[in-house]
Copies of this chain bind each other. A is one copy, B any other.
Amino acid sequence: MVTLEDARRIIAAAEKKAAEIGQPMNIAVVDGGGNLVAHVRMDGAWIGSIDISIKKAWTSRAFDITTQDLATHSQSGGQFFGIHASNEGKVMVFAGGIPLKKDGKVVGGIGVSGGSGEQDSTVAQAGEAAF
Protein backbone atom coordinates (compact mmCIF):
# COMPACT_ATOMS: atom_id res chain seq x y z
CA MET A 1 0.00 0.00 0.00
CA VAL A 2 1.12 3.50 -0.87
CA THR A 3 -1.32 6.01 0.60
CA LEU A 4 -1.77 9.59 -0.52
CA GLU A 5 -0.10 10.63 2.73
CA ASP A 6 2.91 8.45 1.82
CA ALA A 7 3.00 9.93 -1.66
CA ARG A 8 2.96 13.46 -0.29
CA ARG A 9 5.81 12.76 2.09
CA ILE A 10 7.83 11.20 -0.74
CA ILE A 11 7.10 14.10 -3.07
CA ALA A 12 7.96 16.70 -0.41
CA ALA A 13 11.38 15.12 0.11
CA ALA A 14 11.99 14.93 -3.63
CA GLU A 15 10.94 18.56 -4.12
CA LYS A 16 13.29 19.66 -1.36
CA LYS A 17 16.18 17.94 -3.11
CA ALA A 18 15.19 19.39 -6.50
CA ALA A 19 15.19 22.87 -4.97
CA GLU A 20 18.61 22.22 -3.43
CA ILE A 21 20.14 21.30 -6.77
CA GLY A 22 18.24 24.11 -8.49
CA GLN A 23 16.41 22.01 -11.06
CA PRO A 24 12.58 22.06 -11.16
CA MET A 25 11.13 18.57 -11.63
CA ASN A 26 8.07 16.51 -12.33
CA ILE A 27 7.57 13.96 -9.57
CA ALA A 28 5.10 11.08 -9.64
CA VAL A 29 4.23 8.24 -7.27
CA VAL A 30 2.36 5.05 -8.17
CA ASP A 31 0.98 2.29 -5.97
CA GLY A 32 1.43 -1.49 -6.12
CA GLY A 33 -0.90 -1.80 -9.09
CA GLY A 34 1.15 0.76 -11.00
CA ASN A 35 -1.66 3.31 -10.73
CA LEU A 36 -0.89 6.99 -10.11
CA VAL A 37 -1.35 8.22 -6.53
CA ALA A 38 -0.02 11.76 -6.97
CA HIS A 39 1.94 13.95 -9.36
CA VAL A 40 3.39 17.46 -9.12
CA ARG A 41 5.11 19.65 -11.65
CA MET A 42 7.29 22.23 -9.97
CA ASP A 43 7.08 25.72 -11.46
CA GLY A 44 9.27 25.92 -14.54
CA ALA A 45 9.70 22.16 -14.97
CA TRP A 46 9.49 20.70 -18.49
CA ILE A 47 5.98 19.90 -19.70
CA GLY A 48 7.32 16.96 -21.72
CA SER A 49 8.40 15.41 -18.44
CA ILE A 50 4.89 15.11 -16.97
CA ASP A 51 4.32 11.93 -18.92
CA ILE A 52 7.88 10.67 -18.40
CA SER A 53 7.76 11.03 -14.62
CA ILE A 54 4.51 9.07 -14.44
CA LYS A 55 5.86 6.36 -16.75
CA LYS A 56 9.16 6.08 -14.89
CA ALA A 57 7.24 5.45 -11.68
CA TRP A 58 5.12 2.84 -13.47
CA THR A 59 8.15 1.15 -15.01
CA SER A 60 9.93 0.81 -11.67
CA ARG A 61 6.92 -0.92 -10.21
CA ALA A 62 6.14 -2.95 -13.32
CA PHE A 63 9.57 -4.59 -13.43
CA ASP A 64 10.72 -4.17 -9.82
CA ILE A 65 13.84 -2.34 -10.94
CA THR A 66 15.27 1.19 -11.16
CA THR A 67 14.94 2.62 -14.65
CA GLN A 68 18.68 3.31 -14.47
CA ASP A 69 19.39 -0.40 -14.05
CA LEU A 70 16.83 -1.30 -16.68
CA ALA A 71 18.69 1.04 -19.05
CA THR A 72 21.84 -1.06 -18.87
CA HIS A 73 19.92 -4.10 -20.19
CA SER A 74 17.87 -2.21 -22.76
CA GLN A 75 20.48 -0.69 -25.04
CA SER A 76 21.11 -2.15 -28.48
CA GLY A 77 22.75 -5.52 -27.90
CA GLY A 78 21.37 -5.90 -24.37
CA GLN A 79 19.02 -8.70 -23.28
CA PHE A 80 16.01 -6.38 -22.99
CA PHE A 81 16.60 -4.19 -26.04
CA GLY A 82 13.17 -3.43 -27.48
CA ILE A 83 11.33 -3.47 -24.12
CA HIS A 84 10.61 0.25 -24.63
CA ALA A 85 8.23 -0.71 -27.43
CA SER A 86 6.06 -2.83 -25.11
CA ASN A 87 3.20 -1.80 -22.86
CA GLU A 88 1.97 0.88 -25.28
CA GLY A 89 5.10 2.94 -24.82
CA LYS A 90 4.88 3.09 -21.01
CA VAL A 91 8.33 1.60 -20.39
CA MET A 92 10.96 4.26 -19.69
CA VAL A 93 14.53 3.00 -19.92
CA PHE A 94 16.51 5.93 -18.56
CA ALA A 95 17.34 7.04 -15.04
CA GLY A 96 14.81 8.57 -12.62
CA GLY A 97 12.46 5.75 -11.64
CA ILE A 98 12.92 3.79 -8.40
CA PRO A 99 10.76 1.04 -6.87
CA LEU A 100 9.25 1.70 -3.45
CA LYS A 101 9.72 -1.26 -1.11
CA LYS A 102 8.16 -2.29 2.17
CA ASP A 103 9.56 -5.33 3.99
CA GLY A 104 11.57 -6.21 0.89
CA LYS A 105 8.52 -6.26 -1.38
CA VAL A 106 7.92 -3.70 -4.16
CA VAL A 107 4.69 -1.87 -3.37
CA GLY A 108 4.95 1.14 -5.65
CA GLY A 109 7.32 3.43 -7.52
CA ILE A 110 8.57 6.98 -7.77
CA GLY A 111 9.42 8.65 -11.08
CA VAL A 112 11.27 11.92 -11.55
CA SER A 113 11.89 13.81 -14.78
CA GLY A 114 13.11 17.31 -15.55
CA GLY A 115 16.88 17.32 -15.59
CA SER A 116 19.86 15.16 -16.47
CA GLY A 117 19.70 11.45 -15.70
CA GLU A 118 21.93 12.03 -12.70
CA GLN A 119 19.75 14.85 -11.38
CA ASP A 120 16.58 12.83 -11.88
CA SER A 121 18.12 9.89 -9.99
CA THR A 122 19.33 12.07 -7.13
CA VAL A 123 15.88 13.56 -6.65
CA ALA A 124 14.15 10.18 -6.92
CA GLN A 125 16.49 8.72 -4.30
CA ALA A 126 15.63 11.54 -1.92
CA GLY A 127 11.96 10.77 -2.44
CA GLU A 128 12.42 7.04 -1.97
CA ALA A 129 14.36 7.59 1.26
CA ALA A 130 11.29 9.31 2.74
CA PHE A 131 9.07 6.25 2.23
- Determine if B86 and A81 form an interchain contact, defined as CB atoms under 8 angstroms apart: no
Bound: A61/B47 CA distance, A: 8
From 71 to 123 in chain A, residues with beta carbon under 8 angstroms from any chain B beta carbon are 71, 74-77, 79-95, 116-118
Copies of chain A in the complex: 4
- Determine if B79 and A83 form an interchain contact, defined as CB atoms under 8 angstroms apart: no
Which of A48, A59, A79, A90 has the most C-beta atoms of chain B within 10 angstroms of its own C-beta? Answer: A48
User: Residue-by-residue, is A41-76 near B (CB-CB < 8 Å gives 1, otherwise 0)?
Assistant: 111001111111001001101111000000100111
Q: Which residues does chain B contribute within 8 Å of A50, judged by CB atoms? A: 35-36
- Name 10 A/B residue pairs within 8 A (Cβ), A-sorted: A4-B41, A4-B42, A34-B35, A34-B47, A36-B39, A36-B50, A74-B82, A76-B81, A82-B93, A85-B92
